[in-house]
Amino acid sequence: MSAFSWDQRVARAERLAKQYSASAEMLTLYVRLARFQQSVYARLKTQSAGTPIEQLEPDFKRLLSLVQSVGPAPLAEKAGELLHASCCFADVLLRDPSEDLQFFKRVLFQPYREYKVSRISAIDRTQTTRHCPACGELPQVAMLRSEGEGGKRWLLCSLCSTEWEFRRLLCPNCGEEDQDLLPVYTATDLACARRSLGPISAIYQIR
């Protein structure tokens, strides 16, 4: 299951928005989206069974209206087009998976998948695989947590927010194990984050 509540995510984004003005617009948008996702998650806990499309359809137009009002211009324009065309969530899922449509899909599927994973009684978090042991998606970040005299590396799922243990000196993307061939870049103003190459784009040191 996820290690962080929706309220914790929102609070962290609000704190970072005040700390890093260059990212404030993006983080403020995330706060609005996270609050929306929190409401979807809460509703799913009270809803009877159904297909993912049936369960998420009631929230689709709410998402479009939200993005149209607070999203960046390209996404706001796309949300307006979908609203004007009276598209339903099923219509969007059947369209070509363009980047802008993928955004709407993932915003809705993330709380849905987190809710489904929350109902799994046991997840093997010790398997060394680059795919999430709960939903099969790829991770978005790796995290280093202090443990004893060393530390363990964990991956965070990009969809359901599940965490699982992963070998420290192994690239989750290509399988490279040679430390000299695993470049890492740091930023002085983000001491807790290090950027590496590939889709696993950041490593966070959890203190």
What is this structure's pTM? 0.81
What is the predicted pLDDT for the residue at 187? 65
Higher pLDDT, 91 or 66: 66
Residue 98 has pLDDT above 60, yes or no: yes
What is the predicted pLDDT for the residue at 1? 45
**Of 13, 56, 53, 58, nearest to 33 (Cα)?**
13
What is the predicted pLDDT for the residue at 27? 93
Q: State pLDDT tens for residues 136-158.
A: 899 888 888 777 666 788 889 99
What is the predicted pLDDT for the residue at 152? 83
How many other β-carbons are positioned within 10 Å of the β-carbon of residue 103?
Answer: 18
Q: Which residues contact 185 (CB under 8 A, 6 or more apart)?
A: 194, 195, 196
Q: What is the mean pLDDT of residues 154-167?
A: 89
Helix residue spans in 45-177 (DSSP H): 52-70, 73-84, 89-94, 99-118
Could you give the CA distance from residue 109 to residue 37 in angstroms, rounded to a whole number? 9
For residue 167 the two structure tokens come to 């070998």
Banded model confidence at residue 206, pLDDT cuts 50, 70, 90: very low
Could you give the CA distance from residue 71 to residue 38 in angstroms, rounded to a whole number? 18
What is the predicted pLDDT for the residue at 59? 94
**Of 84, 78, 86, 138, nearest to 104 (Cα)?**
78
Give the start-to-end residue ranges of the domains of the chain: 6-118, 139-206
